[in-house]
Amino acid sequence: MNADPVNLLNQLGAQWSPDMGAYLAGDIELADMRCALCGGKPCQCPPFGTSEYFALIDRVHGRKR
Domain assignment of residue 35, yes or no: yes
| Domain annotation covers residue 59 | yes
Distance between terminal CA atoms of the chain?
36
**Within a domain: 5:** no
Q: Is residue 18 in a domain?
A: no
Q: What pTM value is reported for the model?
A: 0.69
Q: Are 23 and 30 in contact (CB under 8 A)?
A: yes
Q: pLDDT tens digit string along 5-56? A: 888 888 888 888 999 999 999 999 999 999 999 999 999 999 999 999 999 9
* Full residue range of the structural domain in which residue 41 is found: 30-65
Burial of 53 (0-12, 13-18, 19+ CB in 10 A): middle
Tally of domains within the chain: 1
44 located within any domain: yes
